[in-house]
Amino acid sequence: MMSSFIHTGLTITMVGAASYAVYALAKLIIAAVQPNPLAEYLGTGKQKQGQPSLGDRLGAAIVQQLPFSLSAWEINLRWAQRGGEYAGRTVEQVIFQSALFGGLGILYPLLVPAPVSWLAPVILAGLPFIRLRSAAKTMRLRAEQSVPEMASLIAAETAAGVSPEEALMQASKLPGPLAGLVREAIAQSAYLGIPAFSHAARKGALRTAFEDSGIAALRAFGVQLDVAASRGVDVSQRMSEISSSLAAEYRQRLARKTEQLDTSMTVAVAMFYFAPMMGLILLPLLYEAMHAL
Protein backbone atom coordinates (compact mmCIF):
# COMPACT_ATOMS: atom_id res chain seq x y z
CA MET A 1 0.00 0.00 0.00
CA MET A 2 2.74 2.44 1.03
CA SER A 3 4.95 1.53 -1.95
CA SER A 4 2.02 1.96 -4.33
CA PHE A 5 1.33 5.42 -2.88
CA ILE A 6 5.00 6.40 -3.27
CA HIS A 7 5.06 5.12 -6.87
CA THR A 8 1.93 7.12 -7.72
CA GLY A 9 3.38 10.23 -6.12
CA LEU A 10 6.64 9.90 -8.04
CA THR A 11 4.78 9.38 -11.29
CA ILE A 12 2.64 12.48 -10.73
CA THR A 13 5.75 14.50 -9.84
CA MET A 14 7.65 13.41 -12.95
CA VAL A 15 4.66 14.05 -15.21
CA GLY A 16 4.17 17.47 -13.65
CA ALA A 17 7.82 18.38 -14.09
CA ALA A 18 7.83 17.20 -17.70
CA SER A 19 4.57 19.07 -18.42
CA TYR A 20 6.00 22.27 -16.92
CA ALA A 21 9.16 21.88 -19.01
CA VAL A 22 7.08 21.47 -22.19
CA TYR A 23 4.95 24.50 -21.20
CA ALA A 24 8.04 26.63 -20.56
CA LEU A 25 9.59 25.57 -23.87
CA ALA A 26 6.38 26.31 -25.77
CA LYS A 27 6.11 29.71 -24.06
CA LEU A 28 9.70 30.47 -25.01
CA ILE A 29 9.06 29.49 -28.63
CA ILE A 30 5.92 31.63 -28.85
CA ALA A 31 7.73 34.60 -27.34
CA ALA A 32 10.61 34.21 -29.79
CA VAL A 33 8.49 33.65 -32.90
CA GLN A 34 5.50 35.93 -32.30
CA PRO A 35 6.10 39.39 -33.81
CA ASN A 36 6.01 42.50 -31.63
CA PRO A 37 4.81 45.48 -33.73
CA LEU A 38 5.91 48.10 -31.17
CA ALA A 39 9.39 46.59 -30.84
CA GLU A 40 9.72 46.36 -34.61
CA TYR A 41 8.66 50.02 -34.95
CA LEU A 42 11.23 51.09 -32.38
CA GLY A 43 13.87 48.84 -33.90
CA THR A 44 14.32 46.76 -30.74
CA GLY A 45 12.55 43.59 -31.82
CA LYS A 46 14.11 40.25 -30.90
CA GLN A 47 14.00 38.91 -34.44
CA LYS A 48 15.46 41.14 -37.09
CA GLN A 49 15.49 40.57 -40.81
CA GLY A 50 17.71 37.64 -41.75
CA GLN A 51 18.22 36.44 -38.16
CA PRO A 52 17.63 32.69 -37.79
CA SER A 53 14.63 31.60 -35.76
CA LEU A 54 14.80 29.76 -32.45
CA GLY A 55 14.01 26.48 -34.21
CA ASP A 56 16.93 27.04 -36.60
CA ARG A 57 19.34 27.81 -33.78
CA LEU A 58 18.33 24.88 -31.59
CA GLY A 59 18.21 22.55 -34.59
CA ALA A 60 21.68 23.67 -35.67
CA ALA A 61 22.97 22.96 -32.16
CA ILE A 62 21.56 19.43 -32.38
CA VAL A 63 23.01 18.92 -35.89
CA GLN A 64 26.49 19.77 -34.62
CA GLN A 65 26.29 16.86 -32.19
CA LEU A 66 25.22 14.30 -34.80
CA PRO A 67 27.89 11.88 -36.05
CA PHE A 68 26.44 11.74 -39.59
CA SER A 69 25.57 14.13 -42.43
CA LEU A 70 22.08 15.35 -43.26
CA SER A 71 22.74 16.01 -46.94
CA ALA A 72 20.17 13.39 -48.01
CA TRP A 73 17.49 15.15 -45.96
CA GLU A 74 18.47 18.50 -47.45
CA ILE A 75 17.83 16.99 -50.90
CA ASN A 76 14.46 15.64 -49.72
CA LEU A 77 13.53 19.05 -48.34
CA ARG A 78 14.50 20.72 -51.62
CA TRP A 79 12.28 18.33 -53.57
CA ALA A 80 9.36 18.92 -51.21
CA GLN A 81 9.78 22.68 -51.59
CA ARG A 82 9.81 22.42 -55.39
CA GLY A 83 6.24 21.17 -55.16
CA GLY A 84 5.09 23.89 -52.77
CA GLU A 85 5.54 21.97 -49.51
CA TYR A 86 7.68 23.08 -46.54
CA ALA A 87 7.91 26.67 -47.80
CA GLY A 88 10.52 28.59 -45.81
CA ARG A 89 11.46 25.53 -43.75
CA THR A 90 14.98 24.29 -43.10
CA VAL A 91 16.47 20.96 -42.10
CA GLU A 92 17.36 22.47 -38.73
CA GLN A 93 13.70 23.21 -38.10
CA VAL A 94 12.78 19.62 -38.95
CA ILE A 95 15.45 18.41 -36.52
CA PHE A 96 14.09 20.70 -33.81
CA GLN A 97 10.54 19.48 -34.45
CA SER A 98 11.73 15.88 -34.19
CA ALA A 99 13.46 16.60 -30.87
CA LEU A 100 10.35 18.35 -29.54
CA PHE A 101 8.06 15.46 -30.53
CA GLY A 102 10.48 12.96 -29.01
CA GLY A 103 10.54 14.95 -25.77
CA LEU A 104 6.75 14.97 -25.65
CA GLY A 105 6.72 11.23 -26.33
CA ILE A 106 8.71 10.58 -23.15
CA LEU A 107 5.55 11.41 -21.22
CA TYR A 108 3.96 8.16 -22.41
CA PRO A 109 6.47 5.77 -20.76
CA LEU A 110 6.10 7.77 -17.56
CA LEU A 111 2.33 7.29 -17.62
CA VAL A 112 2.47 3.68 -18.86
CA PRO A 113 5.65 2.14 -17.40
CA ALA A 114 6.26 -0.76 -19.80
CA PRO A 115 9.26 -1.60 -21.98
CA VAL A 116 7.23 -1.38 -25.20
CA SER A 117 6.00 2.11 -24.29
CA TRP A 118 9.51 3.47 -24.90
CA LEU A 119 8.81 3.04 -28.61
CA ALA A 120 6.46 6.05 -28.39
CA PRO A 121 9.18 8.74 -28.24
CA VAL A 122 11.13 6.98 -31.00
CA ILE A 123 8.07 6.88 -33.27
CA LEU A 124 7.12 10.49 -32.52
CA ALA A 125 10.68 11.67 -33.14
CA GLY A 126 10.66 9.93 -36.51
CA LEU A 127 7.32 11.37 -37.67
CA PRO A 128 8.75 14.65 -39.11
CA PHE A 129 11.33 12.71 -41.14
CA ILE A 130 8.71 10.21 -42.35
CA ARG A 131 6.45 13.04 -43.48
CA LEU A 132 9.33 14.85 -45.21
CA ARG A 133 10.47 11.73 -47.02
CA SER A 134 6.91 10.98 -48.14
CA ALA A 135 6.48 14.52 -49.50
CA ALA A 136 9.81 14.33 -51.35
CA LYS A 137 8.92 10.94 -52.84
CA THR A 138 5.57 12.29 -54.03
CA MET A 139 7.22 15.30 -55.66
CA ARG A 140 9.82 13.13 -57.41
CA LEU A 141 7.03 10.98 -58.83
CA ARG A 142 5.08 14.04 -59.96
CA ALA A 143 8.17 15.48 -61.61
CA GLU A 144 8.74 12.26 -63.54
CA GLN A 145 5.09 12.18 -64.61
CA SER A 146 5.25 15.81 -65.80
CA VAL A 147 8.07 15.18 -68.29
CA PRO A 148 5.79 14.45 -71.31
CA GLU A 149 3.69 17.55 -70.59
CA MET A 150 6.73 19.83 -70.39
CA ALA A 151 8.25 18.26 -73.51
CA SER A 152 5.02 18.91 -75.41
CA LEU A 153 4.94 22.55 -74.28
CA ILE A 154 8.57 23.15 -75.28
CA ALA A 155 7.97 21.45 -78.64
CA ALA A 156 4.90 23.63 -79.29
CA GLU A 157 6.77 26.81 -78.36
CA THR A 158 9.75 26.02 -80.58
CA ALA A 159 7.42 25.05 -83.45
CA ALA A 160 5.93 28.55 -83.17
CA GLY A 161 9.35 30.07 -83.77
CA VAL A 162 10.31 30.71 -80.14
CA SER A 163 13.93 30.19 -79.11
CA PRO A 164 14.73 27.23 -76.84
CA GLU A 165 15.64 29.61 -74.00
CA GLU A 166 12.29 31.41 -74.25
CA ALA A 167 10.45 28.08 -74.51
CA LEU A 168 12.20 26.98 -71.34
CA MET A 169 11.05 30.17 -69.61
CA GLN A 170 7.45 29.39 -70.60
CA ALA A 171 7.82 25.82 -69.33
CA SER A 172 9.05 27.12 -65.98
CA LYS A 173 5.66 28.79 -65.44
CA LEU A 174 3.90 25.43 -65.22
CA PRO A 175 2.83 24.26 -61.76
CA GLY A 176 4.56 21.36 -60.10
CA PRO A 177 8.02 20.22 -58.94
CA LEU A 178 9.47 19.76 -62.45
CA ALA A 179 8.82 23.41 -63.27
CA GLY A 180 10.35 24.28 -59.90
CA LEU A 181 13.51 22.41 -60.91
CA VAL A 182 13.59 24.33 -64.20
CA ARG A 183 13.20 27.63 -62.33
CA GLU A 184 16.15 26.69 -60.15
CA ALA A 185 18.24 25.98 -63.25
CA ILE A 186 17.30 29.34 -64.79
CA ALA A 187 18.11 31.16 -61.56
CA GLN A 188 21.44 29.33 -61.33
CA SER A 189 22.18 30.28 -64.93
CA ALA A 190 21.55 33.97 -64.22
CA TYR A 191 23.45 33.91 -60.92
CA LEU A 192 26.59 32.18 -62.24
CA GLY A 193 26.47 33.74 -65.69
CA ILE A 194 26.41 30.41 -67.50
CA PRO A 195 24.06 29.50 -70.40
CA ALA A 196 20.90 27.49 -69.77
CA PHE A 197 21.85 25.04 -72.55
CA SER A 198 25.32 23.69 -73.21
CA HIS A 199 27.55 25.49 -75.69
CA ALA A 200 30.76 23.96 -76.97
CA ALA A 201 32.57 22.40 -73.98
CA ARG A 202 30.61 24.36 -71.37
CA LYS A 203 27.80 22.40 -69.73
CA GLY A 204 24.51 24.24 -69.39
CA ALA A 205 22.71 24.95 -66.12
CA LEU A 206 19.65 22.95 -67.15
CA ARG A 207 21.61 19.78 -67.87
CA THR A 208 23.52 20.13 -64.60
CA ALA A 209 20.33 20.58 -62.58
CA PHE A 210 18.65 17.57 -64.22
CA GLU A 211 21.73 15.37 -63.76
CA ASP A 212 21.89 16.31 -60.08
CA SER A 213 18.21 15.45 -59.57
CA GLY A 214 19.00 11.78 -58.97
CA ILE A 215 16.14 10.63 -61.26
CA ALA A 216 17.07 8.67 -64.38
CA ALA A 217 14.08 9.91 -66.41
CA LEU A 218 14.90 13.56 -65.66
CA ARG A 219 18.59 13.01 -66.41
CA ALA A 220 17.73 11.56 -69.82
CA PHE A 221 15.23 14.36 -70.48
CA GLY A 222 17.83 17.00 -69.65
CA VAL A 223 20.36 15.43 -72.02
CA GLN A 224 17.78 15.24 -74.82
CA LEU A 225 16.76 18.89 -74.39
CA ASP A 226 20.39 19.96 -74.27
CA VAL A 227 21.27 18.10 -77.47
CA ALA A 228 18.14 19.33 -79.26
CA ALA A 229 18.82 22.97 -78.32
CA SER A 230 22.28 22.77 -79.88
CA ARG A 231 20.97 21.47 -83.21
CA GLY A 232 20.30 24.96 -84.59
CA VAL A 233 17.82 24.96 -87.46
CA ASP A 234 15.97 21.70 -86.69
CA VAL A 235 15.30 22.45 -83.03
CA SER A 236 11.52 22.36 -83.38
CA GLN A 237 11.58 19.02 -85.23
CA ARG A 238 13.92 17.51 -82.64
CA MET A 239 11.77 18.81 -79.77
CA SER A 240 8.67 17.32 -81.42
CA GLU A 241 10.42 13.93 -81.72
CA ILE A 242 11.40 14.07 -78.04
CA SER A 243 7.83 14.91 -77.05
CA SER A 244 6.40 12.01 -79.07
CA SER A 245 8.91 9.48 -77.75
CA LEU A 246 8.41 10.56 -74.14
CA ALA A 247 4.62 10.42 -74.49
CA ALA A 248 4.83 6.90 -75.93
CA GLU A 249 7.21 5.80 -73.17
CA TYR A 250 4.88 7.25 -70.51
CA ARG A 251 1.89 5.38 -71.98
CA GLN A 252 3.86 2.13 -71.94
CA ARG A 253 4.92 2.69 -68.34
CA LEU A 254 1.33 3.47 -67.38
CA ALA A 255 0.14 0.28 -69.08
CA ARG A 256 2.71 -1.79 -67.16
CA LYS A 257 1.59 -0.26 -63.88
CA THR A 258 -2.03 -1.01 -64.75
CA GLU A 259 -1.14 -4.66 -65.39
CA GLN A 260 0.63 -4.82 -62.02
CA LEU A 261 -2.37 -3.34 -60.24
CA ASP A 262 -4.20 -6.69 -60.05
CA THR A 263 -1.25 -8.29 -58.25
CA SER A 264 -0.94 -5.34 -55.86
CA MET A 265 -4.65 -5.45 -55.06
CA THR A 266 -4.48 -9.20 -54.44
CA VAL A 267 -1.62 -8.75 -51.96
CA ALA A 268 -3.44 -5.87 -50.23
CA VAL A 269 -6.65 -7.92 -49.89
CA ALA A 270 -4.70 -10.88 -48.53
CA MET A 271 -2.85 -8.71 -45.99
CA PHE A 272 -5.69 -6.55 -44.70
CA TYR A 273 -8.75 -8.82 -45.08
CA PHE A 274 -7.88 -12.48 -45.52
CA ALA A 275 -5.10 -12.69 -42.90
CA PRO A 276 -7.08 -11.01 -40.06
CA MET A 277 -10.14 -13.14 -40.89
CA MET A 278 -8.12 -16.35 -40.76
CA GLY A 279 -6.56 -15.15 -37.50
CA LEU A 280 -10.00 -14.63 -35.95
CA ILE A 281 -11.00 -18.13 -37.03
CA LEU A 282 -7.82 -20.00 -36.11
CA LEU A 283 -6.85 -18.30 -32.83
CA PRO A 284 -9.84 -19.63 -30.82
CA LEU A 285 -9.21 -23.12 -32.24
CA LEU A 286 -5.54 -22.95 -31.29
CA TYR A 287 -6.48 -21.67 -27.84
CA GLU A 288 -8.85 -24.61 -27.29
CA ALA A 289 -6.27 -27.07 -28.62
CA MET A 290 -3.61 -25.77 -26.23
CA HIS A 291 -5.93 -26.10 -23.26
CA ALA A 292 -6.97 -29.56 -24.35
CA LEU A 293 -3.32 -30.67 -24.21
Is 43 contained in some domain? Answer: no
Do 28 and 139 share a structural domain? yes
Residue 216 lies in a domain: yes
Q: How many domains does the chain have?
A: 2
101 lies in the same domain as 25? yes
Please report, rounded to a whole number, the percentage of residues in the chain having pLDDT higher than 70: 69
pLDDT mean over 208-230: 85
With a CB cutoff of 8 Å and minimum separation 6, the contacts of 161 are none
**Highest mean pLDDT: which range of 75-84, 101-110, 198-207, 228-237:** 75-84
What pLDDT, in 10s, does the model give residues 215-225?
A: 888 888 888 88
Do 26 and 99 share a domain, yes or no?
A: yes
Mean pLDDT computed over 161-167: 86
The answer on 179 and 75 residing in a single domain is no
Task: Report yes or no on 260 lying in a domain.
Answer: no
Q: Does residue 70 share a domain with residue 99?
A: yes
Do 150 and 93 belong to one domain?
Answer: no
Selection from 13-22, 221-230, 253-262 with the highest mean pLDDT: 221-230
In a domain, 270, yes or no: no
Q: Domain range holding 233? A: 146-252
Q: What is the pLDDT of residue 293?
A: 61
Same domain, residue pair 168 and 133: no
The predicted-structure confidence for 173-193, as pLDDT tens digits, reads as follows 989 999 999 999 999 989 888
Per-residue model confidence as pLDDT tens digits over 120-154: 888 888 999 999 999 999 999 999 888 888 888 88
Rounded to the nearest integer, the mean pLDDT of the chain is 77
Residue 283 has pLDDT above 50, yes or no: yes
Give a yes or no: residue 271 inside a domain: no
- Give the end of a domain, one of 144, 166, 197: 144
